[in-house]
Amino acid sequence: MAESMPRDRAPAEITVEYRPGASEKDDPSKQVTVALVPAVGRFQTGDEIRVLLRQRLLFLALLLSGTMGVTLLLGGLSGRLIVANIWAYYACTLAVCTLGALFAAVLWKRQTLSLRQLRAIELILFGALYVQWSLVHAFLYPTFELTHPPIWYGFVLGYAVSLPWAFLIIVYGILIPNTGRRCAAVVGVMAVTPLVISTTTGLAARVTAGHSQANFLLVVGECMAAATAIAVYGSHRIERLRREVVATRRLGQYQLGKKLGSGGMGEVYLAEHLLLRRPCAVKLIRPERGGDATSLERFQREVQTTATLTHPNVVQVYDYGHAQDGTFYYAMEYLPGLSLDQLVRKHGPLPPGRAIHFLRQVCGALSEAHAAGLIHRDIKPGNIIVCQRGGLQDVAKLLDFGLVLELHLPPLGSGPLPGEGLAGTPAYMSPEQASGQSLLDARSDLYSLGALAYFLVSGEPPFPRQTLTQMLAAHRNEPAAFPERLAAELPADVKAVVLRCLEKNPARRFPDADSLEQAWAACACANSWTREEMARWWQTHPLEAGPSRLRP
C-alpha cells in the first residue's frame, strides 16, 4: 500500500455483508470503494512540513499573481497616491506579480522540491511583499500632514498604515508552518519596519514632531505588537497541534500515514517502520469495536491466523501488538498492484489461461489454510491482489482472514458479530453460507473460488440479482450456467471445472484445494499465459496506471 497519486484511479472492493432487515431494493453488488496508491512515502515531520509548505506557498503565489495583476490593470487608481514615484511603484508591483506567477508554475509542476528550496521560495515571496510595502510606506509617509492637523488625525492614519503590515505579519504566522522562535524572528523584523521607515523618512523629510506624529507612531507600535503576538502564538499553537497529531499516529515502531480505508472490523493505514524504513500496511480495530471482547478476540484471531500461514500467495504479517493507549494493531506487507476485481473491471474478462494462472495460486494458499483447519469464508475478487514480487509478475496474494472459521476452536459468541447477519460477500457465498450454516468445511471456500473463476472469465458473478434475498436464494437453489455466447467461447474443460465448483451439493464439488488445483492444471489452456506475456502486460500497464489495492 502506498500514498495515492493518480486521480483517475478505480475504486477497490471491500466486503458487502448481508444484514437482516435491510431493504430488498439494496443493490447487492454495490461495494464500498477503497483506493490505495503506488508510491512509497515517508511520514516524518520534515516531509509533512514540506508537503504542507508547498501547498501554502502555491496558494500564496497564485494569490499574489492575481491581486498584483489586478493592481497593475487598475494602476491609475493606486498610482495617483504616489505620483512622484509612480514608475518605481509599478516596477515593484510588476516584480511581485511576475514572481507570484513564476513560483506558482514551479510549485504546481514540481511536487518534489526540497524543504530548503521551499524555504527559499517562502523568503522570496514574502520578501517581495515586504519590499513592496516598505517602498509604498516610504513614498507615502512624507506626504502625511502630521505637524499641525487635529490630534485625532494621527490615530486614524496610524491604523490605516498598520493594517497592511498587520495583515502581512498575521498571514505569515498562520499560513507558514514554523517553530515559534523562527516565526518570532521573521515577524519581528516586519513589525519594526514601519516604525523605522516612519522615523527615518520623517527625519529626512524634516517632518516636525507633534501630537499627531506621536499618536501615529504610538498606534503603529501597538498594532505591530498585537499582530506579532497573534502571529507567534498562532504559529506556536498550530505547530504544537501538528506534532500532537503526528504523535497520535504512531503505533509502536510504526508511523501511520493517511487512512486507506475501513471495513467491518478494522481500519487500514499506510505506514512505515521507523527503523527499517520499510513501507507496510497497518490494520487496527475500529474504535467502536475496541470495547467489545468478542470483536477484540476475533481481531486477534485474524492476525494470529494469518501469521501462521507461510504460503507465498498469502499476505505476509510482519508484526502485531498493542499501542500505549491499548489499541490492537498488526502490520502486513506492502502490495503494489491491483485487486482481481479492479483488474477485471478496468481491463475486462481475463483470458482463460491467465485466469487459471491466478486460480492455481489461490488454490495453493487455500490448501495450506485448509490443512491448518482454517476456512476463509470470504473468497472474492477484492480479497486477492495481483502484484509483482521477487522479480515475478502476476503474483496473486490472498488477503483478509477477518471472517476465518477455525475448525479446531470453538466459535466466537453465537456466530457473526451483532449486526453482521450472514458473514461474507453475498455475490460469492456458498449455498451453506447463504443458508446461515455456522459449520462449514473447505468445500465452502471452493464454491466461492468457483464463483471467483466465473467472474474472471465472464466479468460478472454467477448470480447477479436485484436484491440480496434473490441473490442468496439463487446460490441456494439455482444451478449455475454460463451465458450462451460465453459458453460457446470458453474451453469445455474450463467450463466443467467452474461448474463443478458451483455445485449446490458439497459432495459433488472437488474434495479439496489440491484436487481443484490439479483440475485447473489439466486444462488445455493452463500454460498458455506465459512469462513473456506477463512481462509484456506489466510493461504496457505500469503501476501508475493502476493504483495499489488492499482490502482492509
- Answer yes or no: do 61 and 203 share one domain: yes
pLDDT recorded at residue 23: 42
Instruction: Give residue-wise pLDDT tens across range 426-472.
Output: 899 999 988 888 778 899 999 999 999 999 999 999 998 888 888 99
pLDDT recorded at residue 310: 87
539: number of Cβ within 10 Å: 9
pLDDT recorded at residue 550: 39
Tell me how far apart the alpha carbons of residues 111 and 242 are, in angstroms, rounded to a whole number: 21
pTM: 0.57
- Answer yes or no: do 533 and 385 share one domain: yes
pLDDT recorded at residue 275: 82
The boundaries of the domain holding residue 343 are 337-545
- Answer yes or no: do 237 and 350 share one domain: no
- Answer yes or no: do 410 and 508 share one domain: yes
Instruction: Give residue-wise pLDDT tens across range 120-170.
Output: 998 998 888 888 888 877 777 666 655 555 666 667 777 888 888 888 899
Q: Average of pLDDT values for 14-40?
A: 37
Residue 514 reports pLDDT greater than 90: yes
Domain boundary at 248, 265, 284, which? 248
Q: Average of pLDDT values for 234-239?
A: 83
Amino acid (1-letter code) at residue 60: L
Q: Is 148 exposed, middle or buried (0-12, 13-18, 19+ CB in 10 A)?
A: exposed
Biggest distance spanned by C-alpha atoms of the chain: 107
Q: Answer whether residue 403 is part of any domain.
A: yes
**Contact indicator for 218, 148 with CB cutoff of 8 Å:** no
pLDDT classification of 289: cutoffs 50, 70, 90: low
Q: Choose the weakest-confidence range: 78-87, 375-384, 495-504.
A: 78-87
pLDDT recorded at residue 356: 95
Separation of first and last alpha carbons in the chain:
11
Instruction: Give residue-wise pLDDT tens across range 416-426.
Output: 443 344 677 88
HSE-up of residue 477 (Cα within 13 Å, Cβ side): 6
- Answer yes or no: do 362 and 234 share one domain: no
pLDDT recorded at residue 517: 95
- Answer yes or no: do 87 and 215 share one domain: yes
pLDDT recorded at residue 388: 86
Amino acid (1-letter code) at residue 280: C
Q: Choose the weakest-confidence range: 18-32, 509-523, 528-542.
A: 18-32
- Answer yes or no: do 349 and 234 share one domain: no
Number of structural domains found in the chain: 2
Domain boundary at 220, 248, 276, which? 248
Instruction: Give residue-wise pLDDT tens across range 248-259.
Output: 567 777 877 777
CATH code assigned at 376: 1.10.510.10
What is residue 266's three-state secondary structure? strand
User: Percent of the chain, pLDDT > 70?
Assistant: 73
- What grid cell was written down for 294? 468478542
Q: Average of pLDDT values for 248-272?
A: 72
CA angle 272, 275, 280 (to 5 degrees): 25
pLDDT classification of 12: cutoffs 50, 70, 90: very low
Q: Answer whether residue 193 is part of any domain.
A: yes
290: number of Cβ within 10 Å: 15
Domain boundary at 248, 272, 307, which? 248
- What grid cell was written down for 101? 506567477
Q: Answer whether residue 116 is part of any domain.
A: yes
